[in-house]
Structure 1
Amino acid sequence: MNTDTNDERRTDVTGTFVTHRSTEQGDETVWHLTIDTGSEHRSVFLAPARSDVRFDLLTGREYAFSGVRVCTPAAAETVDDADCPSCGGDLREWTAVDDYPAVRAALPEFDVEDEFYVVDTATTFDAPDDERSYPVDDWRSWRTTTPPGVVCLDCDREFDSREFRLPTGEAHPTDTVEDHSVAAPESIGLATGGANDASNFRENVANGYTPRPDSLAPEGLFHDYRFPTRGDTDAAGMFVPTSSQSVSTNPVTGDEERYVAVGLDSSLPVSEFERPPLDLVAVLDVSGSMQSGFDEYYYDETGTRREVPAEERSAETKLEAAAESLCALTGHLAPNDRFGVVLYNGDAHVAKPLGRVDETDLAAIRGHIRDVQAGGGTDMSAGFDAARDLLADAPADEDRERRIVFTTDAMPNTGLTGSAALTDLVADAADGGVHTTFVGMGIDANAELTSDLSAVRGANHYFVHSSAEFERRLGEEFDYFVSPLAFDLSVDVDADDHAVAGVYGSPNADPEAGRAIHVETLFPSPTADGESRGGVVLVRLDPVAPVADDAEVRLHASWTERDGTEDETTVTAPLRGAGHDDDGVRKAVALARYARTLRAWADRVRGHDADEPVDDWRSREGQRASRRSRHERGSVPLRVSADDAATFEVLASYLREERDAVDDPSLSRELDVLEVLQAAVRGAEARR
């Protein structure tokens, strides 16, 4: 009896055992059985994962195999006009045997040219004198999606149609990701943990909402831009702090301001950077809120849930984008990495135990991830605990990075829901050597909670608004955001006649608080042409006395490297007069002023919506509003006053000047935000 379920053909085979042989393929053993079915001899291979199969078969005895995989030798023809998006190699059509690389490699040794069968973990095998049946891999048996379409002849990576395409009009990742192997800079850059972008802020504005202030974290904004590495220092070390200064007038306030930029540089050559082996558990939020689009609904100021008209919604749901993002992530794993998957809503489920990548059917796993459906509540703590338990059960190896990639819209409504309790959970795991990357899904993702969680040692976060966006980011940054290099960076800034008035670019800093820099984690940062993403923390200094001619600024830095080595250094420079030491500090100052202004506006508009009680009379039509969690904050429409608009016009003029002065066209994305805000005022005036 043959079965054919979405291109995964299986059949039952009964025949007389003739003989068997084995071969070693790398560190795996493949067994080849010859079975006489009565009309012909058929080849049956045992996939390496079936180490539980016994070989007490007797020649001439009949045996039954139920649900063997029907395979043919891999085609040799290459696919025209297409290259591997990972390594640029030739591609060929996928066949079922590609799910079993060791079996595929053994075919020439046994001269197999015709159709054959593979006994895998989805097959039951009745052996003589043994009544047991062998276990089924549930995830593989649930596969209902189309298998991969092509396989790379060089790196053996598999790609299906969804992994191989980008939305119309967008370039292929191999065209957009910078090639650091050509003209690579001498050393890597460094960047802080915490926020790794400011896209959530921009997306909220673009969709007509006032963002949460925390979605414009200065370190996330800095990470969206490139800054020079190394400077003019000859110092050597994993971390090499540098210093540059800026003294200029803030166009919004009219005040003269002095800034010191602390450059987060390194002398580690790019050619010597290699990420450690990974034990990685992907945690996927499958709660009901993930089934909505990125902008399908919002809560108004009264706590009532409001639906966005269908024609204005994004086509991709948060769960679809999260699933595609995790599928793309699997393509960046190395054979000796270990990978597991946890699903959670109101409960948690270990969907895939932690196992070596080269022993995992990643094509099947990607299919299962795409098949997941959303529903139920959101217990982030349950999902996190299940992932940490998986990593705790893995063999101890201090040379491996143990990391959880936690994909969520951060709206917990059961289990632990308090920010402090959840942060303690992540911090306790970090103390045990388990670090976390948070991937926030959707414009309604809770930026405040995500910022708190990612300020922990070894943690960072991204906001994602499409799977294609995350795939592009992965291509450039995967090896970097999973590889913390240094911890517990403290920088004491001591300037003659000045006091620290604010710190920008450290995830633990209040931008307006006067205190020294403390950074939990430094990650390597992608570099090109002597510049890296992020790589700067900005300190604003206020004068407390007249500045002497010989006044200096001193930076004393101490940190702990990944291997536990403690180090420290001091950098001293004279205080400069008006102007900028370089374009890097000038750009950082412009971005910090932009962030300060827009965060203040967002905070003023949103007020304290999380703390104010709901007016029951006004909200009773939306009964679901009373059940939303503290993390499902009201989505506030854009509100820009005439005074705000005037401020934004001044800020936009300043940013245009700075964009041209530092020759960085990418600053135009912030000008686009300011244009939308000013247009909101013009639209409101036109309606009056």
Structure 2
Amino acid sequence: MQILLLLATLILFARPALAAPRVDVSWRYERADNARTESGSRSLDIPALGAPGLTATDPGIEKTIFLAQTAQTLVDFLGRYQEACTEPVRPRERSIFPVCAAPRRAVASALRTEIQTLDARILANPRLRADQDVTEVLELMRRLAANMQKAEPPVGGYSPPTPLPWHGVRVLARAAAPGGGLALGGGGAQGYGYFRKIVGDGSVPKADVLTVEGFLREFSLPLTGAAACHALVCVDPAVAVDSEKRRLYVQLGMSSSMTAEAFQRDPLNLAVVLDVSGSMSATDATEKSRLEWAKDALVQTIHELDEADMLSIVLFDTNSEILVRPAPVRDKQVLIAKVKALQTRGSTNLEAGLRDGFKLVGENVDRLAGYEHRVLLISDAGLNTGVTDTASLQRLVTEQAGRRIGLTALGLGENFHQSVIHAISNSRGGNYMFVQSGKDMLRYFEAFDYLVTPVAYDFNVGALVQDLGAELVRTYGVTTEAGAQPTRSLIDLKTLFFTEAGGAILLEYALPETRGE
């Protein structure tokens, strides 16, 4: 009997040492509808170390890991290509500077070698081999390598404006989250479409065209084994271990108990700020100009609104013009007729238009309780008239966020500077979407209510890996000003929106080289 008691005691005290390593995830946020703070936590055991290949708690994480690492590879190679050679400034020429050919082609050769490695990885994994997204990404990388072989200068990205004379100023469907709830995402940039267009056109994009986050948002990356969510926001962790490479991966998926059927937006105090500058006449190889597509989107917006909503419309080109002052949406046909009559003109004084939009919304912030106060910006953002420095725009967005006026920005071209995008997506209530053509913009307006409705503010989520001595080496899928992936396990997102876009947050850890397994 004494021996049995001794064995029981030893087992009891040994249990913590024998417990499986785990990941503890906790999160906290402020609800946008009632300002109440809510929190949650989940734990997940880490698969046993030592097994060959990748061992995962959810099969969906394999694709996320592959695409996140591929995105980082693309970003790195774009940087290497751009830094391989600096050519003299020749604004009217795209000829190859002779000494640039060899170093650029060396980058192309290195990318082809990397593609062979990725190809072998895909062939060894039936799940990746059968995935059309993976196949298309690899084919795009092959085209990029072929474009690099031409050794031409990289194109695209933000172009510093040439100020014009001062004239004064007149004052998205993604599959539902597990359990049928809506999917959630932050308000960051989406740059993969523009990257893909440049590569498809036979060129090499500049380094700032693509971010890992923007790349991942192109893809639906759900976790198939997520637990049911019974709150406004839940975080679903998945874990994968690669014992051979000494790597641990944690994917943080977000879900909600809110369903599309139950969702209702608050009434809107909305100012639409529309770019009618000359650059909006570009067609982007579609059947209509950017402005014509934007007018279609604005007409669709008017149809989405009702008498409970307050609408104003601001136009900007060289100057800013108030087309419609704030008023309830009653006579939709009159509003639509005004929109359809718009034509392109002048240059791009974006800040003047934004200031007027914020001013019009601000007139009713204190009077309209229970409303969502928001400016919707549609522009290709050339920034070539008036105040053209991005710091001034960032201050404006931040100041207005402090007044409870959010900004939704739809960028139709390459000239939204990354720092402006970062300011928008990291402001309270801010979200930014990039589209490569005006036609692509319409898909976001099909989910208009989600586009203009914040779900939660100050969303913080942290992951703690227990009992492994793991070191965090990279975080994928989080907005940063310079486009680099941060190294932190505590993630802060200023605003969450329901979304039909994709995306994922992935943490990569290095495991100790020696450990009893």
Answer yes or no: same fold by TM over 0.5. Answer: yes
Residue from 470, 477, 486 that aligns with 2:456: 486
* Residues 341, 184 of structure 1: alpha-carbon distance in 2 compared, 3 angstrom cutoff: farther
> Corresponding residue for 2:373?
402
User: Matches of 2:204 and 2:248 in 1, distance apart?
Assistant: 30
1:262-283 CA-to-partner distances (Å, cap 9, x unmatched) read 1112223443321111111111
Equivalent residue runs for 1:358-437 within 5 Å: 359=330, 361-394=331-364, 396-437=367-408
The DSSP-based 3-state class of the residue aligned with 1:388 is helix
1:436-457 CA-to-partner distances (Å, cap 9, x unmatched) read 1111114x34352552243222
User: Matches of 1:187 and 1:457 in 2, distance apart?
Assistant: 24
User: Would the aligned equivalents of 1:502 and 1:512 in 2 still touch at CA under 8 Å?
Assistant: yes
| Percent of residue pairs bearing the same amino acid type | 27
* Residues 211, 320 of structure 1: alpha-carbon distance in 2 compared, 3 angstrom cutoff: farther
Equivalent residue runs for 1:38-437 within 5 Å: 185-196=179-190, 198-228=192-222, 231-233=225-227, 236-248=230-242, 257-294=247-284, 314-357=286-329, 359=330, 361-394=331-364, 396-437=367-408
Equivalent residue runs for 1:522-537 within 5 Å: 522-526=496-500, 533-534=501-502, 536-537=504-505
Is there any run of 5+ residues in structure 1 with no aligned partner, and where?
1-175, 295-312, 527-532, 550-688
* Residues 387, 506 of structure 1: alpha-carbon distance in 2 compared, 3 angstrom cutoff: same
The DSSP-based 3-state class of the residue aligned with 2:445 is helix
User: Matches of 1:179 and 1:373 in 2, distance apart?
Assistant: 38
Aligned length: 340
1:470-522 CA-to-partner distances (Å, cap 9, x unmatched) read 223322x2111211111112223332412222222222375433123221111
Letter in 2 for 1:293: T
Residue from 438, 451, 455 that aligns with 2:421: 451
User: Matches of 1:230 and 1:396 in 2, distance apart?
Assistant: 45
- In the TM superposition, residue 315 of structure 1 has moved relative to its aligned partner by 4.5
User: Would the aligned equivalents of 2:289 and 2:438 in 1 still touch at CA under 8 Å?
Assistant: no
User: Would the aligned equivalents of 1:192 and 1:219 in 2 still touch at CA under 8 Å?
Assistant: no
* Residues 204, 447 of structure 1: alpha-carbon distance in 2 compared, 3 angstrom cutoff: farther
* Residues 177, 499 of structure 1: alpha-carbon distance in 2 compared, 3 angstrom cutoff: closer
* Residues 210, 318 of structure 1: alpha-carbon distance in 2 compared, 3 angstrom cutoff: farther
1:359-407 CA-to-partner distances (Å, cap 9, x unmatched) read 2x32232232232222323221111110011011125334211111101
Equivalent residue runs for 1:657-672 within 5 Å: none
> Corresponding residue for 2:99?
none
User: Matches of 2:203 and 2:295 in 1, distance apart?
Assistant: 26
User: Would the aligned equivalents of 1:282 and 1:341 in 2 still touch at CA under 8 Å?
Assistant: yes
Letter in 2 for 1:344: F
User: Would the aligned equivalents of 1:325 and 1:467 in 2 still touch at CA under 8 Å?
Assistant: no
User: Matches of 1:548 and 1:384 in 2, distance apart?
Assistant: 60
Bigger proportion of residues as helix: 2
* Residues 232, 293 of structure 1: alpha-carbon distance in 2 compared, 3 angstrom cutoff: closer
User: Matches of 2:250 and 2:174 in 1, distance apart?
Assistant: 30
User: Matches of 2:475 and 2:462 in 1, distance apart?
Assistant: 12
TM-score normalised by L of structure 1: 0.45
User: Would the aligned equivalents of 2:174 and 2:220 in 1 still touch at CA under 8 Å?
Assistant: no
User: Matches of 1:347 and 1:275 in 2, distance apart?
Assistant: 33
User: Matches of 1:369 and 1:270 in 2, distance apart?
Assistant: 30
For the pair 1:514 / 2:487, whether they are aligned, the reply is yes
For the pair 1:539 / 2:512, whether they are aligned, the reply is no
- In the TM superposition, residue 344 of structure 1 has moved relative to its aligned partner by 0.9
User: Would the aligned equivalents of 1:191 and 1:535 in 2 still touch at CA under 8 Å?
Assistant: yes
Letter in 2 for 1:470: M
1:552-582 CA-to-partner distances (Å, cap 9, x unmatched) read xxxxxxxxxxxxxxxxxxxxxxxxxxxxxxx
The DSSP-based 3-state class of the residue aligned with 1:508 is coil
- In the TM superposition, residue 185 of structure 1 has moved relative to its aligned partner by 4.8
Q: Which has the higher contact order (CA 8 A, sep 6+)?
A: 2
User: Would the aligned equivalents of 1:486 and 1:523 in 2 still touch at CA under 8 Å?
Assistant: yes
> Corresponding residue for 1:16?
none
User: Matches of 1:542 and 1:415 in 2, distance apart?
Assistant: 49
* Residues 271, 290 of structure 1: alpha-carbon distance in 2 compared, 3 angstrom cutoff: closer
User: Matches of 2:223 and 2:325 in 1, distance apart?
Assistant: 41
- In the TM superposition, residue 411 of structure 1 has moved relative to its aligned partner by 1.5
1:219-269 CA-to-partner distances (Å, cap 9, x unmatched) read 3333332233694435632211121123349xxxx9664321111122234
* Residues 215, 331 of structure 1: alpha-carbon distance in 2 compared, 3 angstrom cutoff: farther
Letter in 2 for 1:369: V
User: Would the aligned equivalents of 2:470 and 2:509 in 1 still touch at CA under 8 Å?
Assistant: yes
> Corresponding residue for 2:22?
none
Bigger proportion of residues as strand: 1
> Corresponding residue for 1:39?
none
* Residues 216, 179 of structure 1: alpha-carbon distance in 2 compared, 3 angstrom cutoff: closer
* Residues 468, 346 of structure 1: alpha-carbon distance in 2 compared, 3 angstrom cutoff: closer
1:156-187 CA-to-partner distances (Å, cap 9, x unmatched) read xxxxxxxxxxxxxxxxxxxx97898xx99532
The DSSP-based 3-state class of the residue aligned with 1:519 is strand
Letter in 1 for 2:252: V
Letter in 1 for 2:298: L
The DSSP-based 3-state class of the residue aligned with 2:298 is helix
User: Matches of 1:315 and 1:230 in 2, distance apart?
Assistant: 39
1:620-668 CA-to-partner distances (Å, cap 9, x unmatched) read xxxxxxxxxxxxxxxxxxxxxxxxxxxxxxxxxxxxxxxxxxxxxxxxx
User: Matches of 2:433 and 2:282 in 1, distance apart?
Assistant: 19
The DSSP-based 3-state class of the residue aligned with 2:241 is strand
> Corresponding residue for 1:577?
none
User: Matches of 1:239 and 1:424 in 2, distance apart?
Assistant: 30
* Residues 177, 448 of structure 1: alpha-carbon distance in 2 compared, 3 angstrom cutoff: closer
* Residues 544, 334 of structure 1: alpha-carbon distance in 2 compared, 3 angstrom cutoff: farther
- In the TM superposition, residue 284 of structure 1 has moved relative to its aligned partner by 0.8
The DSSP-based 3-state class of the residue aligned with 1:204 is helix
The DSSP-based 3-state class of the residue aligned with 2:397 is helix
User: Matches of 1:337 and 1:448 in 2, distance apart?
Assistant: 32
* Residues 245, 208 of structure 1: alpha-carbon distance in 2 compared, 3 angstrom cutoff: same
- In the TM superposition, residue 546 of structure 1 has moved relative to its aligned partner by 4.1
Letter in 2 for 1:268: M
* Residues 269, 547 of structure 1: alpha-carbon distance in 2 compared, 3 angstrom cutoff: farther
Letter in 2 for 1:281: A
- In the TM superposition, residue 349 of structure 1 has moved relative to its aligned partner by 1.0
User: Would the aligned equivalents of 1:230 and 1:265 in 2 still touch at CA under 8 Å?
Assistant: no
* Residues 210, 230 of structure 1: alpha-carbon distance in 2 compared, 3 angstrom cutoff: same
- Higher mean displacement: 459-468 or 258-267: 459-468
User: Matches of 1:379 and 1:505 in 2, distance apart?
Assistant: 32
